[in-house]
Amino acid sequence: MSDHAAASAPGAPSSQAAAHVPHLARQPRRGRVAPGSVEEKRLREIWETPPGWRGWLSSVDHKTIGLRYLVTAFVFLLMGGVEALIMRVQLARPNATVLTPEQYNQLFTMHGVTMIFLYALPVLSGFSNYLWPLVLGARDMAFPRLNALSYWIFLFAGIFLYASFPTGQAPDAGWFNYTPLSGLEYSTGPNIDVYALGMVLLGISTTVGSMNFVVTLLRMRAPGMSLDRVPVLVWGTLTASAGNLLAVPSVSLAFFLLWMDRRIGTHFFDVLNGGRPLLWQHLFWIFAHPWVYAVVLPAMGIVSDALPVFCRRPLVGYGPVALATVATMAIGFVVWIHHMFATGIPALALSFFGSASMVIAIPSAVATFAWIATIWTGRPVFRVPFLFFAGFVFLFVVGGVSGVLTAAVPFDWQLTDTYFVVAHLHYVLLGINVFPVIGGIYFWFPKFTGKMMSERLGKLGFWVMFAGFNIGFFPMHIAGLLGMPRRIYTYPADMGWNTVNLVTSLGSFLFALGVLIFLVDLAVSLKRGKPAGDNPWDAPSLEWAVSSPPPPYNFAVVPTLASRHPLWEDRIEEPGNGGQLRSQLDEGYLLAEGREALGTTALEANPDVILKMPGDSYAPFVLALFAALFFAALALAAWPVASAMLFGCAVAIIVWLWPERELIQREPVAIHDAGG
């Protein structure tokens, strides 16, 4: 059936924590659940995914989906990294012939597509999918089947984009795909069609995933988790998701219009027939610049929540950091034209968008000062995650400063389409994303697996990675100042770029060695890691209140919170409660009459409704498969096959929404379809 139904009826529980419940179908029993008790076994039976391939294809467990996102995104990271290393071999020496121009264009394009669209946001979605219900005190995401659908479409979109690679027909107009060079007159093969349709398909995954995150925050928080107690990781992902809901339709429209120009004969971007090539840049960058913050803000949230654990104190300035997170995305929607300063934009627009591009540094500076103050006023413990988070702060400053420089219009005119911009892009998209991600894996690996990763290998990997990153990408600033254009596959020997390119290539391989050390540590720890215990870092947030790895149902009883740091309440006083209130983590709402979750109000998180959650289903996988085959048929212009695949999508949706028998037989006072 639909993703969940809400059972409601008059009545309110008598306990103080549930005093604000206006509508519940029945009084949920409050109390404790002992491990191995009848209630615990029943919860495990209800929520556990069956083993084998059937469970693998049908699972809607957010933890399983989160780990799949992480693994798949890292596979794409490795593929994009290999593409980058091949390009750096080509550019290490002048007049090299390792690659032909066409091969370089395809590698360059697929490297950008992979790192920006198939790695950077999906890997953060993996963290958020796994952690959100745990840090919010929920049983699952709001729409579990939509969650599964978002992953399967992401996977199939990545396969779809790479399917053209072995045939030598991969996208070749750059990840930005500017018209008219991406039009039919300059690219007659299927290269650009694959890219256009693949991005529309990927946009579906991003959109449904973003909707799921927004609704989960509004309706699935534990009682007592008001908005001022939400972890910064949640604020980061929420802001990115809201931004995606506004930005992704723009780029999906752009790619669909381009595909129509190429295959149906429209002229949206054809200047000879009244089209506007610059329309493409506007539609693309009004998406792509907010996308930069979508792949940065959740990573900043990881640092804001995990860094204080190793400083042994709460984050300095939680409120300003949360507000800065939202402000960054809001301002990010009015800076896209700084990618177009050299296209003949009127002077008034240049001054407005240049000013906005500088103003956006203010909320970023707020977060930076909060991290530094947290370290300065805390008692830092130099474990591996802390090193990655501290390294991130350094890279964040370097990338942010170079970004502010390009916001100055005259300076940008000099550096447009040079390697200075490439350096800035890698600092803000690779450095500011990869270091928090790897630090987050070291931090939450005990929660994922119940095992610890190696401190010795972790520290070695960090220093190799940190040195390799700066050796590899900082000289790109110098190459840009020396006038080296971006997007060239070779260069003459007398341009003065030989040394900086050789150093960049050596640094890139050193960075790759650091990533390899991390992967070795990951593999060894999965097999022989030391047992971690439930909370090895002595962290304060809710996910560490359950066992490691968590049980299928997350929380046997839905906890009730009274502070922002429920596991540190015995050592700090939270604002607003004077240290008098205490969270109830092992005694709360027991919901064990089927797959049930507690819905709460949007602002104060008061208990509000019992949500009937859907079970495992093949429908998301089948729907994603038919959707991918539909887009493949469009790319091949196989219209009958496309029609058949569209019919298959319709059947899968009907199966998805078909009512479940047990929910019909329950007969609560009222059942309201919650959609999904």
Distance, in Å, from the CA atom of 278 to the CA atom of 460, rounded to the nearest integer, reads 47
So what's the pLDDT on residue 8? 39
332 is a domain residue: yes
So what's the pLDDT on residue 308? 96
Determine which of 122-126, 238-242, 600-604 has the lowest per-residue pLDDT on average.
Answer: 600-604
So what's the pLDDT on residue 661? 62
Whether 211 shows a pLDDT value over 70: the answer reads: yes
Confidence of residue 580 (pLDDT cuts 50, 70, 90): low
CATH number of the CATH domain containing 405: 1.20.210.10
Put the strands of the sheet holding 671-673 in their side by side order: 596-600, 607-612, 5-7, 671-673
CA distances from 608 to 18, 449, 575, 631 (A): 9, 34, 25, 41
Q: Return the DSSP state at 542.
A: G
Distance, in Å, from the CA atom of 167 to the CA atom of 163, rounded to the nearest integer, reads 8
Neighbours of 111 (CB within 10 A): 20
Mean pLDDT of 497-515: 96
509 is a domain residue: yes
Choice between 672 and 629, residue whose per-residue pLDDT is larger: 629
Whether 323 shows a pLDDT value over 50: the answer reads: yes
65: buried, middle or exposed (CB in 10 Å: 19+, 13-18, 0-12)? buried
So what's the pLDDT on residue 577? 58
pTM of the model: 0.92
* Residues 10-43 pLDDT 10s: 233 333 333 344 445 445 555 567 666 788 888 8
* Residues 247-299 pLDDT 10s: 999 999 999 999 999 999 899 998 888 899 999 999 999 999 899 899 999 99
37 is a domain residue: no
- Long-range contacts: 541-544, Cβ < 8 Å, 24+? 541/135, 541/231, 541/305, 541/565, 541/566, 541/567, 542/134, 542/135, 542/136, 542/137, 542/222, 542/566, 542/567, 542/585, 543/131, 543/134, 543/135, 543/444, 543/447, 544/447
Distance, in Å, from the CA atom of 77 to the CA atom of 459, rounded to the nearest integer, reads 21
* Residues 80-95 pLDDT 10s: 999 999 999 999 999 9
Nearest to 482 by CA among 466, 497, 503: 497
Domain that holds residue 343: 57-528
Mean pLDDT of 413-439: 92
Q: What is the 3-state secondary structure (H, E, C) of 328-365?
A: HHHHHCCCHHHHCHHHCCCHHHHHHHHHHHHHCHHHHH
Residues 6+ apart with CB under 8 A from 279: 268, 269
Distance, in Å, from the CA atom of 614 to the CA atom of 144, rounded to the nearest integer, reads 7
Helix (H, G, I), strand (E, B) or coil at 611: strand
Nearest to 320 by CA among 283, 374, 275, 271: 374
So what's the pLDDT on residue 187? 84
672 is a domain residue: no
Distance, in Å, from the CA atom of 150 to the CA atom of 202, rounded to the nearest integer, reads 9
Residue linked to tokens 């170079």: 402
4 is a domain residue: no
So what's the pLDDT on residue 4? 55
Whether 667 shows a pLDDT value over 60: the answer reads: no
Tally the domains of the chain. Answer: 1
* Residues 387-397 pLDDT 10s: 999 999 999 99
Mean pLDDT of 430-453: 95
358 is a domain residue: yes
560 is a domain residue: no
Nearest to 156 by CA among 643, 630, 618: 630
Choice between 189 and 328, residue whose per-residue pLDDT is larger: 328
588 is a domain residue: no
Whether 245 shows a pLDDT value over 70: the answer reads: yes
Nearest to 542 by CA among 601, 572, 586: 586
Distance, in Å, from the CA atom of 5 to the CA atom of 459, rounded to the nearest integer, reads 48
Whether 204 shows a pLDDT value over 80: the answer reads: yes
Whether 111 shows a pLDDT value over 90: the answer reads: yes
Choice between 577 and 141, residue whose per-residue pLDDT is larger: 141
Give CA angle at 38 (17, 547), nearest 5°: 65
What percent of the chain lies above the pLDDT cut of 70? 91
